[in-house]
Chain A
Amino acid sequence: MFHLILFLFFGAICVAGAINLLVQSHPINSALSLIAVMAALAAEYLLLGAEFVAAVQVIVYAGAIMVLFLITIMLLNAGAEERTKGSRVAILLGIPGVLIGGVLVAWTLLNRSNTQAVPIGALKGDPKDIARLLFHDFLLPFEVTSVLILIAIMGAVVLASPPRAVASGLRKDAE
């Protein structure tokens, strides 16, 4: 019972944040509501017993990624959105498509999935257990993703740096 109330409470925050993201016109408001969604999601993870994942969610997702978003928004001084000519296809085809897809998925899930209850803290996601999996069974993906991050960092640096700096850097190497 308690589980259900907690679930519904945090679930409501998630949904409200998501809808707020859609509704707000200024991106900074959207970013802040996304942070709220992520925090609520972290709580949901805790309800499911995934402690490590919840912690990582707050630290990495809400703490790093969203901060990055906020920095970019403020850097670029993005203002409120103006109305421009939208895409008819997006409205006419996309929204119904999404809704239909969503309804179908929901219907399937509700009909076919096991309605067995998941108790609170069902699977305790100990850091120790996760670490064991991570460094034994999933070692290769782990290493690969670390390379991926390295590449992403380099790419981001190159892409975001001012053009002259890059060019002059290249020229200096050539000399």
Chain B
Amino acid sequence: MTPNPYLYLWLVPLLPLAGAAINGFFGRRLPKRAITTVALVFCGAAFVMALWLAAGFSAASAPYSSDLAHWIRSGDFQVDFSFYLDQLSLVMLLVVTGVGFLIHIYSVGYMWDDDGYYRFMAYLNLFMFFMLTLVLAKNYLVMFIGWEGVGLASYLLIGFWFTKDSAAAAGKKAFIVNRIGDFGFLIALFLMIQHFGSLDFTHVFAAARSLPTEMAGAGLLTAIGLLLMVGAAGKSAQIPLYVWLPDAMEGPTPVSALIHAATMVTAGVYMVARSSVIFDHAPMAMMVVAIIGTLTALFAATIGIAQTDIKKVLAYSTVSQLGYMFMACGVGAFSAGIFHLMTHAFFKGLLFLAAGSVIHGVGGEQDMRKMGGLRVYMPWTFATMGIATLAIAGIPPLAGFWSKDEILWQAYNASWAYWLIGVITAFITSFYMFRLMYMTFSGEYRGAAASDVHGHDAHAHDDHSHGHGHGEPHESPWVMLGPLVVLALLSVVGGFVGYGNHFEHFLAPVFQVGDVVAREASPEAGKSALEYLLMAVSVGVAGLGWFLAYLLYRRRPQLPARIAASLGGLYQAVSNKYYIDELYAALFVKPLIDGSTTILWHGVDQGVIDAAVNDSADAARHVSDTARHMQSGNLRSYAGWVAAGAAVVIAYMVWMGVR
């Protein structure tokens, strides 16, 4: 009789933790093969377990929760270490372990020559542990552990090459901006504790359901929803807390793929989807979510047009696609958002890994203006990246088409404005992605001459060298290409789970419980004509974007520069990310640093605290300086002191006697 897989649910997060511990503590002394084996085995085991769990799980299965240990027992309030498996967390589990495992394999090839190889594999496993904790949590506090933990792993991995100032600064920026979001998250948790008395999903959602819907746009659930959105905005890089994600490209490319495309940044979407009950009862909060998502999608896409670094384009693309997911959640189409999360993990992960392969192949160069014509040198990379580009642009029948279209259809049902912005963004997305493809793979190779291309140059953020000195671009080894192929396959077929609303039905038990706001208006009765029309429109704009990119970057490559020059200031603004970073620096960072320096450091630390300590020491010294005159070494002064003291004592005794 087969063992019950659910009993071993707790193994899923803990296997990668074990791998991280082994590699972290002993990795320095282990040979690289051993490190690789440890990392891959533990991560792969988690993936196998996830498959095993999924095998027996269907749309009709009841959620499974497993309580591991008591944690907080404080009066009526209690929080335990508990894991929870329902359809939603199963989907996330498969995505995280599956894509994670592929990226682990890729990293073996990519980071092999790095000195910190063991550290990298340990951090990757550590990240897996935290992400799985986040996804499998049964209450908000355990989710928060995972939340914070992935932030930590992100910091460690972004700043992996910590000797580089820009990398260290980027890691710091990511962590701090995340922290701001976490602050909102924490306040939401406090509100939950105060009003619901518990952080457990079941209790919180039951309590939320019992509250009336806050149509007026104000109230407890709205507050909680908005604060949760603040946290999600920090973690998933939405306006206004997206600024860390482009900088996070300082980390190695597998990190960008895993954390900043497939899994960590999607934690915010997962959290919002998980809290669907709360958002259902707070329409104002949902609208805010939708608006933020939509605006971010458009905003980031426009910035992506003007970027020249291949990874930065993908970074802004990620922000934009995350905006789509939030848009979906904001209009009530939570399962559509999760669907897009899943397909995005496939094609964005693939895009990043392929970009890493490109960078590896050209010897560390990341500027697309110095690439071109790589199609002949790297056919496999070209093919897989091409598939991913088709997917993200939303060309049927690849995965991206199904999920993006679902979102646009649901958005249209909520408001045509969302739909319109979504369509425009789709156009821009298609444009910049094909621009990337053309600049990188077609035309003539514009890179440095054959003899110069070796090692790293000043631009090489990916500080990544090869064992072999070489001159021309070359294809990557199979250990790196393998995952690319697998992800490409998934990008092709991954969308078919959405066919006939299968995906939605699968997730229905999670989202269908007691809802008030009209949502998921997709009818059981198949698609309507309007839906087909909208589908055609979105495919049409995708094709239009492709064509425009072809025109500007293949046929008339001199046009883009002229257009940019004619647009002048506007182009400069877009190219410099609308100077948002500078704005934040002037508005928040500089006053904070100045205030800290003047008030806190000079004023409080030096003026008050140090002064208190130093002055009390000085005072002690003065007192003892004065007192030391008693010890003059002069016999007669001693006698004088004695006589004076005797007089005092006698006076006291006389006085006592007289009283």
Interface locus among B203-211, B474-482, B569-577, B642-650:
B642-650
Residues in A neighbouring B641, C-beta threshold 8 A: 89, 93-94
What per-residue 1/0 map shows which CB atoms of B109-145 lie under 8 Å from chain A?
0000000000000000000000000000000000000
Interface locus among B28-36, B235-243, B425-433, B629-637:
B629-637
Residues in B neighbouring A96, C-beta threshold 8 A: 644, 647
* Pair B654/A93 contact, Cβ less than 8 Å: no
* Pair A105/B650 contact, Cβ less than 8 Å: yes
Residues in A neighbouring B645, C-beta threshold 8 A: 97
Any A CB within 8 A of the CB of B526: no
A90 CA / B634 CA spacing, docked (Å)? 9
In the complex, residue of chain A having the shortest beta-carbon distance to the beta carbon of B640: A94
Q: Beyond A104-B650, A105-B650, is A98–B634 a contact (Cβ under 8 Å)?
A: no
A100 CA / B650 CA spacing, docked (Å)? 9
* Pair B640/A87 contact, Cβ less than 8 Å: yes
Any B CB within 8 A of the CB of A169: no
Residues in A neighbouring B637, C-beta threshold 8 A: 87-90
Partner of A98 from B629, B643, B654, B657 at Cβ < 8 Å = B643
Residues in B neighbouring A101, C-beta threshold 8 A: 643, 646-647, 650-651
Residues in A neighbouring B634, C-beta threshold 8 A: 87, 89-90
* Pair A97/B657 contact, Cβ less than 8 Å: no
Any B CB within 8 A of the CB of A162: no
* Pair B646/A86 contact, Cβ less than 8 Å: no
A101 CA / B643 CA spacing, docked (Å)? 8
Any A CB within 8 A of the CB of B639: yes
B629: shortest Cβ distance to chain A, in Å?
8
A86 CA / B634 CA spacing, docked (Å)? 9
* Pair A92/B654 contact, Cβ less than 8 Å: no
In the complex, residue of chain A having the shortest beta-carbon distance to the beta carbon of B644: A97
A126 CA / B647 CA spacing, docked (Å)? 38
* Pair B651/A104 contact, Cβ less than 8 Å: yes
A98 CA / B641 CA spacing, docked (Å)? 10
A97 CA / B641 CA spacing, docked (Å)? 9
Any B CB within 8 A of the CB of A160: no
**Residues A69-117 near B (CB distance < 8 A):** 86-98, 100-101, 104-105, 107-108
* Pair B654/A108 contact, Cβ less than 8 Å: yes
Residues in A neighbouring B651, C-beta threshold 8 A: 100-101, 104
* Pair B632/A87 contact, Cβ less than 8 Å: yes
Provide the main secondary structure of the chain B interface.
Answer: helix
In the complex, residue of chain B having the shortest beta-carbon distance to the beta carbon of A91: B640
Residues in B neighbouring A87, C-beta threshold 8 A: 632, 634, 636-637, 640
Residues in B neighbouring A86, C-beta threshold 8 A: 636
A105 CA / B641 CA spacing, docked (Å)? 19
A90 CA / B632 CA spacing, docked (Å)? 11
Residues in B neighbouring A88, C-beta threshold 8 A: 637
Size category, A interface: 10 to 19
A98 CA / B648 CA spacing, docked (Å)? 10
A97 CA / B648 CA spacing, docked (Å)? 8
A104 CA / B651 CA spacing, docked (Å)? 7
Residues in A neighbouring B632, C-beta threshold 8 A: 87, 89
A78: shortest Cβ distance to chain B, in Å?
16
Partner of A94 from B639, B648, B654 at Cβ < 8 Å = B639
Partner of B640 from A89, A100, A105 at Cβ < 8 Å = A89
**Residues B229-253 near A (CB distance < 8 A):** none
Q: Beyond A87-B636, A108-B657, is A93–B650 a contact (Cβ under 8 Å)?
A: no
* Pair B643/A94 contact, Cβ less than 8 Å: yes
A30: shortest Cβ distance to chain B, in Å?
16
* Pair A93/B636 contact, Cβ less than 8 Å: no
In the complex, residue of chain A having the shortest beta-carbon distance to the beta carbon of B630: A89
Residues in A neighbouring B650, C-beta threshold 8 A: 101, 104-105
Most buried by B among A89, A93, A96: A89
Residues in A neighbouring B657, C-beta threshold 8 A: 108
Residues in B neighbouring A98, C-beta threshold 8 A: 643, 647
Residues in B neighbouring A89, C-beta threshold 8 A: 629, 632, 634, 636-637, 640-641
A105 CA / B637 CA spacing, docked (Å)? 23
A92: shortest Cβ distance to chain B, in Å?
7
Residues in A neighbouring B643, C-beta threshold 8 A: 93-95, 97-98, 101
In the complex, residue of chain B having the shortest beta-carbon distance to the beta carbon of A85: B634
* Pair B654/A97 contact, Cβ less than 8 Å: no
Residues in A neighbouring B654, C-beta threshold 8 A: 104, 107-108
Residues in A neighbouring B636, C-beta threshold 8 A: 86-87, 89-90, 94
Binding site for A on B (CB under 8 A): 629, 632, 634, 636-637, 639-641, 643-648, 650-651, 654, 657
Query: What are 20 residue pairs bridging A and B, where the CB atoms are less than 8 Å apart in the complex?
Result: A87-B640, A88-B637, A89-B637, A89-B640, A90-B639, A91-B640, A92-B640, A94-B636, A94-B640, A94-B643, A94-B644, A97-B640, A97-B644, A98-B643, A98-B647, A101-B647, A104-B651, A104-B654, A108-B654, A108-B657
Binding site for B on A (CB under 8 A): 86-98, 100-101, 104-105, 107-108
Q: A97-B644, A101-B643, A104-B651 are in contact. List 14 more A-B contacts (CB 8 A).
A: A87-B634, A87-B636, A88-B637, A90-B640, A93-B640, A93-B641, A93-B643, A94-B641, A94-B643, A95-B640, A97-B640, A97-B647, A97-B648, A100-B647
**6 smallest A-B Cβ distances: which pairs?**
A94-B640, A90-B640, A97-B644, A97-B647, A89-B637, A101-B647
